[in-house]
Amino acid sequence: MGKYKFIIIALSVLILSSRGDISSRIKMPSPEYPVKDMGLKNAILTADKTGREAFALKDLTYSDSGNTLLNDIILSFNSPSADLRKDDTGKYNIGSSSYRFIKNYGVLGGGGACFLKKDHKVEITPSKNLWLGSCNDLGSFSLEFRFRPIALNDNSTLFSRVGYLSGRKNGIEISLWNGRIIASLYRMFKSSSGMRYDIQLLKGRALKPDNWYHFVLSFDRVSGKLAKYLNGYEEEVIYATETDSPYEGVYEPCFECIDMPAAVIGENFNGYIDEFRISCREIDNLATEQASAFENYKKLKVKGRYPENYSGMVESPVYSFSSTGTSVALLKWDEFLPDNTFIWMEFRISDSLFSRSDMELKWYRIINNQKNIHMMTDSSGNYLRGKYYQWRAYLIASPEGKYSPLLYDVELLYRPDPPPESPLFVEAVSVGDKYIILRWNKNVEHDLLGYRIYYGVQSGVYSGILSHINGKRITNDFNSNRKYIEVRISNDIIEENKEIAVNPVLDYPVFENTVLYFFAISAYDSYKPDTQHNHESLLSREVKARPFAGSEIKF
């Protein structure tokens, strides 16, 4: 019944009604289908070079090289600016500070700093034995803070550690530009030949005033991955390496020794800043703890004699269609496959609700543009149709850990299986001695299996259901009339259906002459008959009739 409809599930969903032409599009991520509901195992949501969102592998190299970073500086802004003399770790001296302290305001409690005036800012004094004052290899690092802009001014600087004595900018600057937060690293990365390079991360979503954001800038010294995150989303990635690929000639991150400028927070910024933190891992410790990281992780990993391609997984929640018995005729996805990468998927479906972690319900391996899933049968002989469904995609990296595939929109072509229409023109056409004859128009659905007659002695309260007569279902073949069904209900029919009834609550009142009875008819289809998954129509309009033996005077 109905025409095939499209759903885009993973990053974009198109849902069409099973009746009529009303349609709507749901974009994922969205409030209805947030990424946080996706099960991501070694996978992340990122963006390709065009800005299109896609799922990709988080770690290409067989081993997560993310050692725990150590806090270098923390500013929680839980005290007025006049009391700010050192950062929370006690390592850094605060040269000067001016901001409006808002008690019990911020993200993690305590308070927050509000920067409103032109002279509002915090200056941090660097030291040669600390990260902000070092001119050696900075190792792996992470710079993060939470902020809430009141105005999005392009000259706003949320954080800056930039020197000029070399004649050119050198250092890190986090600022607002064109309504977005950007990261500029000036002459921060040095090649093996001594050349220094600027790197800017300019991509990202537009900010909205009066919203809290969590910003992170991170660099992995082992792979060379430089990434910018906003509210947990990876907005842009650049590999600071000689080949623009991970692990191959990673540039050394370092400040220039000729300069040691103060670090500044909140200069010309109009808004709130809270929980500022820089964490780092020295290169010597990285080399000691991961001696093989620079060489072995970028090579093909071997288990015994067999190479293993590293993979990640994107797993959907358990979604639902509008009705049981829904048929999935096509499942496909968009993908970008660099050399030697691969994507494959599994799918499962059931009429019974199952959990995401269900180990009993079988997964079926599928390929892209998989057709006719609904024609497959399971071990019980039932077709793979249902109301609840789930998919999961496997992303396979190239063997050397250099490239990740990208997974875009996932689409299902599906056909709902709505219940039949309610029977029409129901009427009681005749009564007699403890019997009543009902008539209604035949339904025309192609998968119609039969009808049920609901009856009782109170309007809207039905204490008996009649579906069989003389051992056969009440179907469109019940009588020869091409237009309507006519059924004679007597106590024999009531007794027959009472004996096969599965509902112990029903008492099946027998017909007594002169008692008024109420009737309504439903239609049901052939999908899993006599189960809770079968599709049954709404009840028809109610009719009433009173058995009566009639006059005893015959002339």
pLDDT (tens digit, 9 = 90+) per residue, 382-415? 889 999 999 999 998 876 667 889 998 888 888 8
d(Cα 334, Cα 54) in Å, to the nearest integer? Answer: 9
d(Cα 448, Cα 139) in Å, to the nearest integer? Answer: 70
108, 76 contact by CB (below 8 A): yes
5-61+307-415 matches 427-545 in fold: no
382, 362 contact by CB (below 8 A): no
| 38 has a pLDDT exceeding 60 | yes
Domain coordinates in residue numbering, the chain: 5-61+307-415, 70-282, 427-545
The residue behind tokens 């991970």 is: 246
Angle at the Cα of 258 from the Cα atoms of 256 and 262, rounded to 5 degrees: 80
**H or E element, residue 449:** strand 448-456
| 68 has a pLDDT exceeding 80 | no
If we measure between CA atoms, which residue out of 370, 373, 391 comes closest to residue 383? 373
Answer left, alpha or beta for residue 374, where phi above 0 means left and psi between -120 and 50 means alpha: alpha
Once rounded to an integer, what is the mean pLDDT over residues 439-447?
A: 94
CATH topology of domain 5-61+307-415: Jelly Rolls (2.60.120)
pLDDT at residue number 52:
87
pLDDT in tens, 408-435: 888 888 888 889 999 999 999 999 999 9
pLDDT in tens, 170-194: 999 999 999 999 999 999 999 999 9
For 410-464, where are the alpha helices, taking DSSP H only? Answer: none
State which amino acid sits at residue 416: P
Q: Rounded to the nearest 5°, which phi and psi values hold at 224?
A: 85, 10
More confident residue, 67 or 346: 346
pLDDT at residue number 37:
80
| 305 has a pLDDT exceeding 50 | no
Mean pLDDT of the residues in the chain: 85
**Which band of pLDDT confidence, cut at 50, 70 and 90, is reported for residue 443?**
very high
Contacts of 6 (CB under 8 A, 6+ apart): 14, 16, 411, 412, 413, 414
**Which band of pLDDT confidence, cut at 50, 70 and 90, is reported for residue 287?**
very low
Once rounded to an integer, what is the mean pLDDT over residues 281-308?
A: 43
Q: Which two tokens stand for residue 331?
A: 């499942």
| 97 has a pLDDT exceeding 70 | yes
552 three-class SS: coil
DSSP-assigned letters across all residues of 126-151: --TTSGGG--S---EEEEEEEEEESS
Once rounded to an integer, what is the mean pLDDT over residues 36-52?
A: 85
**Which band of pLDDT confidence, cut at 50, 70 and 90, is reported for residue 2?**
very low
pLDDT at residue number 336:
94
pLDDT in tens, 465-516: 999 999 999 999 988 788 999 999 999 999 999 999 888 889 999 999 999 9
Domain 70-282, architecture per CATH:
Sandwich (2.60)
Q: What pTM value is reported for the model?
A: 0.55
Q: Rounded to the nearest 5°, which phi and psi values hold at 288?
A: -70, -45
d(Cα 459, Cα 457) in Å, to the nearest integer? Answer: 7
**What CA–CA distances, in Å, run from 448 to 470, 472, 524, 528?**
20, 15, 6, 12
Of the given ranges (101-110, 245-254, 328-337), which has the lowest mean pLDDT?
A: 101-110
Domain 427-545, CATH class in plain words: mainly beta
